[in-house]
Amino acid sequence: MTFGCKCRRTETSSCFLLNPKEGTSSRAANGFHYPERRKGLWFRLRKILLYVLGLYIAIPFLIKVFPGIQAKLIFLNFVRVPYFIDLKKPQDQGLNHTCNYYLHPEEDITIGVWHTVPTVWWKTAQGKDQMWYEDALASSHPIILYLHGNAGTRGGDHRVELYKVLSSLGYHVVSFDYRGWGDSIGTPSERGMTYDALHVFDWIKARSGDNPVYIWGHSLGTGVATNLVRRLCERETPPDALILESPFTNIREEAKSHPFSVIYRYFPGFDWFFLDPITSSGIKFANDENVKHISCSLLILHAEDDPVVPFQLGRKLYNIAAPSQSFRDFKVQFIPFHSDLGYRHKYIYKSPELPRILREFLGNSEPEHQH
């Protein structure tokens, strides 16, 4: 029996071994071309990698040859978020005590403006026209001119939420879209953005009487804000205080620190390819230089977990401003927000401490001999 069993196993094995082509044909028929399949996958993968590598190398040269690309990436004015909102109707965003205006800083330039009155006037403001809103600026409530950052419009969600917070604290809030943003007409530039801000500031001052006017800049808007305030101080008409939320030192350092630059940060000639085109486009936003020529109280707010403008740039700007001679008679304050709070780049408005911070800082923004 033992011998018979062995013969059957051998016979079975022999049958298999005597028909190797049949087994191969069966596997081929089922699509098991392992070497060919691996070769095809590797060819396609290599092709994709070559395309990616070629694009990676080409982008720096494109930016160098066409510096306007870099300018568009800085302004991002073509990114309109949220979409499909009617900027003529701020009430659609929950701002029922807000009026939409259009101002004309220069010929062929039109900028859209929102004016939100203090919340205590919510009922009174219903159905009122632009003239009523303009006259309201002369009331006993202070005014904040808000300068937003890149991308989006004056109707951006986080911006609207900040207007609501400031309005609830008793401030008028005047915000606007720079030329080229939202429904404002014109081509973006640092000079143009600064001139738009100057025009709106002068428009406010012509109607606000002796009411305090504060300037609040966020992100890229901090560059516009320091440009504006430096110019105002040089002509001896400074604002009552300057607030910088998530500021940087200058646009070159911000561009180098931005998360989008990570994949190129160690690329040979990074400064020449990416940063020099920014300068050649006339874009500087030199906060670090401007603060040396500003004479009014300065408050800097920055979240430690800011992924867009690194926290250390805000701290560095404060360290430049605090010892400056121009601030010797004014308050200079830096307020950090711990990373555990999750305020990141644009959610400081959520802080329950913000009303107290503003009340303590703006409650007395007159000159005083301390930092």
Catalytic residue among 219, 246, 281, 365: 219
Residue appearing with tokens 């219903």: 126
- Give me the catalytic one of 97, 115, 302, 345: 345
Give CA–CA dist 179/189, Å, rounded.
8
Which listed residue (258, 297, 306, 326) is catalytic?
306
345 catalytic residue (yes or no):
yes
Q: State yes or no: is 306 an active-site residue.
A: yes
Residue with tokens 């001679």: 325
> Is 281 tagged catalytic?
no
Spell out the SS3 assignment of the chain. Answer: CHHHHHHHHHHHHHHHHCCHHHHHHHHHHCCCCHHHHHHHHHHHHHHHHHHHHHHHHHHHHHHHHCCHHHHHHHHCCCCCCCCCCCCCCHHHHCCCCEEEEEECCCCCCEEEEEEECCHHHHHHHCCCCHHHHHHHCCCCCCEEEEECCCCCCCCCHHHHHHHHHHHHCCCEEEEECCCCCCCCECCCCHHHHHHHHHHHHHHHHHHHCCCCEEEEEECHHHHHHHHHHHHHHHCCCCCCEEEEECCCCCHHHHHHHCHHHHHHCCCCCHHHHHHHHHHHCCCCCCHHHHHHHCCCEEEEEEECCCCCCCHHHHHHHHHHHCCCHHHCCCCEEEEEECHHHCCCCCCHHHCCCHHHHHHHHHCCCCCCCCC
Tell me which residues are annotated as active site. 219, 306, 345
